[in-house]
Amino acid sequence: MPAYGDLVETFVELIRRASTQLPDDVVHALEQGKAKETETGLADKALGTILENVELASSTSAPICQDTGTPVVWIHHPVGVSTRALGAQFREAVHKATERRFLRPNAVDTLTGRNTGNGAGRGIPFLHFEEWDEPRVEVRMILKGGGSENVGTQYKLPEPRLKAGRDLEGVRRAVLDAVFEAQGKGCAPGVLGVCVGGDRVSAFEMSKRQLLRPIVDTNEIPELAELEERLLREGNQLGVGPMGFGGKTTLLAVKIGVLDRLPACYFVTVTYMCWADRKAVVSIDEGGEVTWLN
């Protein structure tokens, strides 16, 4: 087995970075949004406070948002690496990051209502493992806040209320409805991760995976690339604005993934990520060399 060594401290640093430093692509999108809003209006004011907060969090190494979210983690690993060992190290890193206040104690026992106190719990953090051919471990993580998670949703097409049939026009209608329903409650301006197809298990995971993509990129499937662009434009036409105060900046990006489906099912799954679109990626090679990838 390659000598990756003890990765606990590397994982703590991954969590610290995600919780305290908003990635450049997200900051840039927020700045562009602010430039479009009317000066002295509520939307401009909200985005100004958001950008000030991002700067403050980064300079003091403190959480951008007090809801430090659920760590949702994708770990790629070479043949022969123990996923149980990696999982145990990641959970320990969550305990340490919570002690050091990069994370809030954010796991509540659903039956007793008691907070576990250490940031971890049943199903938290959420870890996915995938073996790959490269001789290194790569860990990609988002911190998914709860307020925005509550406005995530899933449609099954056809949906008569929206006149949404089983095609990309139906997908468009469902996603716009989701943005309208969310209003400002998911901490707009948001980033949408969408999955078309799949089942009720795979689709939410796929929608979250879309959030790992850069804010500005082009979907490799041309019809989805076109739909992403159109939904971003039309979502912003709704005028919900930052925090739901009204304004031009309701969405920062729309990212759509696709999975095949059963004949009977056609799901459109929407994950709403708040403006605090926290993500971090690290690569660890066989010699233990660590490279930060965002």
Partner 1 sequence: MAELKLPVSEEEIRKLKVGDFVELTGRMITGRDTAHHWLMQDVREDVMPFMKDTVIYHCGPVIAKNDDGSYDFVAAGPTTSIREEPYQADVIGRYGLRGVIGKGGMAGRTLAGLAEHGAVYLHAIGGAAQVLARAIPKVERVFMLDEFGVPEAMWVIEVEKFPVVVTMDSHGGSLHDEVEGASKKQLDELLK
* Residue 132 contacts residue 77 (beta carbons within 8 Å): yes
Q: Taking CB under 8 A as the rule, does residue 243 contact partner 1?
A: yes
Q: Which is nearer to partner 1, 104 or 128 (CB)?
A: 104
Instruction: Tell me phi and psi for residue 259, to 5 degrees.
Output: -130, 150
Q: Which is nearer to partner 1, 7 or 57 (CB)?
A: 57
Number of neighbouring beta carbons within 10 Å of residue 289: 9
If you search the block for the tokens 């796991």, which residue do you land on?
Answer: 107
Q: Taking CB under 8 A as the rule, does residue 241 contact partner 1?
A: yes
- What residues from 7 to 36 belong to the interface with partner 1 (CB under 8 A)? none
Q: Which is nearer to partner 1, 89 or 250 (CB)?
A: 250
Pattern 127-156, partner 1, x by CB under 8 A: ------------------xxx--x------
* Joined tokens for residue 278: 């926290």
Q: Taking CB under 8 A as the rule, does residue 176 contact partner 1?
A: yes
CB of 82 to partner 1, least distance (A): 33
Contact stretch for partner 1 (CB under 8 A) within 86-94, 103-111, 196-204, 209-217: 103-111
Contact stretch for partner 1 (CB under 8 A) within 75-83, 123-131, 176-184, 217-225: 176-184
Q: Which is nearer to partner 1, 119 or 198 (CB)?
A: 119
Q: Taking CB under 8 A as the rule, does residue 183 contact partner 1?
A: yes
Q: Which is nearer to partner 1, 2 or 246 (CB)?
A: 246
Contact stretch for partner 1 (CB under 8 A) within 2-10, 123-131, 216-224, 270-278: 270-278
Q: Which is nearer to partner 1, 66 or 80 (CB)?
A: 66
Residue in 32, 83, 115, 202 binding partner 1, rule: CB under 8 A:
115
CB of 171 to partner 1, least distance (A): 13
Assign 3-class secondary structure to the chain: CCCCCCCHHHHHHHHHHHHHCCCHHHHHHHHHHHHHCCCCCHHHHHHHHHHHHHHHHHHHCCCCCCCCCEEEEEEEECCCCCHHHHHHHHHHHHHHHHHCCCCCCCCECCCCCCECCCCCECCECEEEEEECCCCEEEEEEEEECHHHHHCCEEEECCEHHHCECCCHHHHHHHHHHHHHHHCCCCCCCEEEEEEECCCCCHHHHHHHHHHHCCCCCCCCCHHHHHHHHHHHHHHHHCCCCHHHCCCCCCEEEEEEEECCCCCCCCEEEEEEECCCCEEEEEEEECCCCEEECC
The footprint of partner 1 (CB under 8 A) covers 42, 45-46, 49-50, 52-53, 56-57, 60, 62-68, 101, 104-106, 108, 113-115, 117, 145-147, 150, 162-163, 173, 176-177, 180, 183-185, 187, 234, 237-241, 243-246, 274-276
